[in-house]
C-alpha cells in the first residue's frame, strides 16, 4: 500500500511516501521567510506552500522510485487544526491528485498525526498509555486505551509550551522560531540563578498554563537577568511541569507506555528527563527522533496507514474542508470535521 502524505498545517511544507507504515522517501521544507517577521505570517505561509509543494512531491516520488502519481494507492493530507490558508494548499493538492489518479483520499487530524508517528509495527505500544502532545500550537495530555480510543485528559488554558518557548526566545533576542535556540542557550546557563514561578504546577491537575511564566521571564529579562540563566530556568520550569503531570497521570491510570510527540519533544532536557523518569517508573517510552518531533509528513502517512489497516476501503469525501481548531474530547486520526 503506497501512501503519499502531505503536511501543510503551519509553516513547514512536508511530503512523505510510505509503503504501509514504513517511510520510503520524505522531505520537509522549513519556510525561512517568517523569521524576519518574528512570527508566522499566514498569507506568506500559504503562498510558500503553493510554490514549494509541487517540487517537493516530485523529489519524493523520484527518490522513492515512483514514475508518477498513478503508482500511488492512497493520498493523505492534514485537514486541521492549523492555519486555514496553509491547510487548504495541501488539502486541495491531495484531493486533486487523488481525483486525477482515481485513488482514495484521506483527510488527517494533525494532532492525532503527531501521536501516530509511534504507530509502527516494529515497536508496538502496550496500552493503556498516556500521551503528551507538546507543540507550538498545543499542549495536551491524553489517555490512550488503544489507537482507536484516545481520550483528552487536559490541555493548556492559554499558551502552548512551544509558543511560550518561542515568545521567550524572541524576547531574549534569540530570533524566531526560537525554541531550539533557547534550548542551546540554556545549556550554558544555571537554572538556580533565576527564579521563575511554576504556574498550575500541581501534578494531579492535567491542565497547563504557560502565559504567566512567559510574563515572569519578561520581567526578569528587563531587570537584567543573564540570557543563558534565564533560558536554563525557563526550560527547567517547563520541563518539570510537563513531566510531573505526565508521570502523575501514568501512575494514576496504570499506564504501561508513555508517548510523547510534537515539536517541543526535540528539547534536549525534556528528552533526558523523560528517559530518566520512564526508566525509573518501568514505563516504555515512545519518543520521536528530533526530525520527527517537529511537523513532518511521515506522521500523516502513518495516521492514514492506521485508518486503512482497520478499514482498507476508507476514504474521505472530496468535499472535506480545512479546520483551524480542534476541540473534542476524543481524538481520531480521521481529519474530516464533523459538519461539512
Of 163-202, which residues contact ligand KG4 (CB under 6 A)?
Answer: 163, 165-166, 177, 179-180, 183
In degrees, rounded to 5, the angle at the alpha carbon of residue 288 between the alpha carbons of residues 181 and 209 is: 60
Identity of the residue, 46 or 228, whose beta carbon is nearer to Zn ion in the bound complex? 46
Q: Which stretch binds ligand KG4 (CB under 6 A): 53-61, 134-142, 207-215, 324-332?
A: 134-142
- Based on the number of CB atoms within 10 Å of its own CB, is 122 exposed (0-12), middle (13-18) or buried (19 or more)? exposed
Q: Provide the minimum distance between the beta carbon of 108 and Zn ion in the complex, in angstroms, as a whole number.
A: 12
Selected binder of ligand KG4 within 10, 50, 107, 307 (CB under 6 A)? 10
Q: List CB contacts of 327: < 8 A, sequence separation 6 or more.
A: none
Identity of the residue, 113 or 120, whose beta carbon is nearer to ligand KG4 in the bound complex? 113
Identity of the residue, 209 or 315, whose beta carbon is nearer to ligand KG4 in the bound complex? 209
Q: Provide the minimum distance between the beta carbon of 100 and ligand KG4 in the complex, in angstroms, as a whole number.
A: 29
Identity of the residue, 111 or 194, whose beta carbon is nearer to Zn ion in the bound complex? 111
Q: Provide the minimum distance between the beta carbon of 333 and ligand KG4 in the complex, in angstroms, as a whole number.
A: 15
117 sits near ligand KG4 (criterion: CB under 6 A) = no
Q: Provide the minimum distance between the beta carbon of 335 and ligand KG4 in the complex, in angstroms, as a whole number.
A: 14
What's the distance, Cα to Cα, between the start and end of the chain in Å? 28
Q: Provide the minimum distance between the beta carbon of 250 and ligand KG4 in the complex, in angstroms, as a whole number.
A: 22
135 sits near ligand KG4 (criterion: CB under 6 A) = yes
- Which residues of this protein are in contact with Zn ion, per CB under 5 A? 135, 295
162 sits near ligand KG4 (criterion: CB under 6 A) = yes
Identity of the residue, 26 or 163, whose beta carbon is nearer to ligand KG4 in the bound complex? 163
Smallest CA-to-CA distance from 328 within 145, 91, 81 is with 81
> CA 309, CA 125: separation in Å to the nearest integer?
16
Q: Provide the minimum distance between the beta carbon of 221 and ligand KG4 in the complex, in angstroms, as a whole number.
A: 18
> CA 197, CA 216: separation in Å to the nearest integer?
7
109 sits near ligand KG4 (criterion: CB under 6 A) = no
225 sits near ligand KG4 (criterion: CB under 6 A) = no
Q: Provide the minimum distance between the beta carbon of 62 and ligand KG4 in the complex, in angstroms, as a whole number.
A: 26
Identity of the residue, 141 or 283, whose beta carbon is nearer to Zn ion in the bound complex? 141
For residue 203, give the C-alpha cell. Answer: 501534578
> CA 165, CA 137: separation in Å to the nearest integer?
11
175: helix, strand or coil: coil
242: helix, strand or coil: helix
Q: Answer yes or no: are the C-beta atoms of 192 and 230 closer than 8 Å.
A: no
Smallest CA-to-CA distance from 266 within 141, 161, 128 is with 161
Write each residue from 263 to 302 as x if it is in contact with ligand KG4 (CB under 6 A), else as -, in one continuous string. xx-xx--------------------------xx-------
Smallest CA-to-CA distance from 76 within 262, 312, 315 is with 315
337 sits near ligand KG4 (criterion: CB under 6 A) = no
> CA 231, CA 181: separation in Å to the nearest integer?
10
262 sits near ligand KG4 (criterion: CB under 6 A) = yes
Smallest CA-to-CA distance from 6 within 70, 71, 97 is with 97
> CA 143, CA 153: separation in Å to the nearest integer?
6
Question: Could you list the residues that contact ligand KG4 (CB under 6 A)?
Answer: 10, 135-137, 162-163, 165-166, 177, 179-180, 183, 262-264, 266-267, 294-295
Amino acid at each position: 500500500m503506497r501512501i503519499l502524505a502531505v503536511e501543510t498545517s503551519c509553516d513547514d511544507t512536508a511530503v512523505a511516501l510510505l509503503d504501509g507504515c514504513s517511510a520510503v522517501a520524505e522531505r520537509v521544507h522549513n519556510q525561512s521567510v517568517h523569521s524576519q517577521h518574528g512570527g508566522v505570517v499566514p498569507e506568506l505561509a500559504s503562498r510558500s506552500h503553493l510554490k514549494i509543494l509541487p517540487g517537493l512531491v516530485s523529489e519524493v516520488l523520484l527518490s522513492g522510485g515512483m514514475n508518477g502519481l498513478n503508482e500511488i494507492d492512497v493520498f493523505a493530507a492534514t485537514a486541521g487544526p492549523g492555519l486555514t490558508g496553509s491547510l487548504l494548499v495541501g488539502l486541495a493538492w491531495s484531493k486533486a491528485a487523488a481525483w486525477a489518479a482515481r485513488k482514495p483520499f484521506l483527510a488527517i487530524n494533525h494532532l492525532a498525526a503527531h501521536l501516530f508517528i509511534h504507530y509502527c509495527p516494529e515497536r508496538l505500544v502496550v496500552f493503556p498509555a498516556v500521551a503528551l502532545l507538546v507543540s507550538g500550537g498545543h499542549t495536551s495530555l491524553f489517555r490512550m486505551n488503544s489507537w482507536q480510543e484516545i481520550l483528552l485528559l487536559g490541555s493548556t488554558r492559554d499558551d502552548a509550551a512551544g509558543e511560550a518557548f518561542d515568545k521567550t526566545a524572541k524576547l531574549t533576542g534569540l530570533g524566531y522560531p526560537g525554541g531550539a535556540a533557547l534550548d542551546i542557550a540554556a545549556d550554558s546557563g544555571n537554572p538556580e540563578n533565576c527564579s521563575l514561578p511554576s504556574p498550575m504546577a500541581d501534578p494531579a491537575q492535567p491542565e497547563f498554563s504557560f502565559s504567566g511564566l512567559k510574563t515572569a521571564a519578561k520581567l526578569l529579562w528587563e531587570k537584567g537577568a543573564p540570557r543563558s540563566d534565564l533560558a536554563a530556568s525557563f526550560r527547567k520550569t517547563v520541563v518539570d511541569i510537563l513531566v510531573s503531570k505526565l508521570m502523575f497521570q501514568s501512575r494514576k491510570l496504570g499506564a504501561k507506555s508513555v508517548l510523547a510527540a510534537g515539536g517541543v519533544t526535540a528539547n534536549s532536557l525534556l528528552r533526558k528527563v523523560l528517559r530518566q523518569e520512564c526508566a525509573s517508573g518501568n514505563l516504555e517510552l515512545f519518543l520521536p527522533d528530533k526530525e520527527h518531533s517537529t511537523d513532518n509528513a511521515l506522521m500523516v502517512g502513518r495516521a492514514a496507514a492506521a485508518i486503512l489497516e482497520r478499514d482498507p476501503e476508507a476514504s474521505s469525501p472530496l468535499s472535506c474542508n480545512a479546520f483551524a481548531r480542534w476541540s473534542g474530547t476524543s481524538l481520531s486520526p480521521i481529519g474530516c470535521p464533523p459538519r461539512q
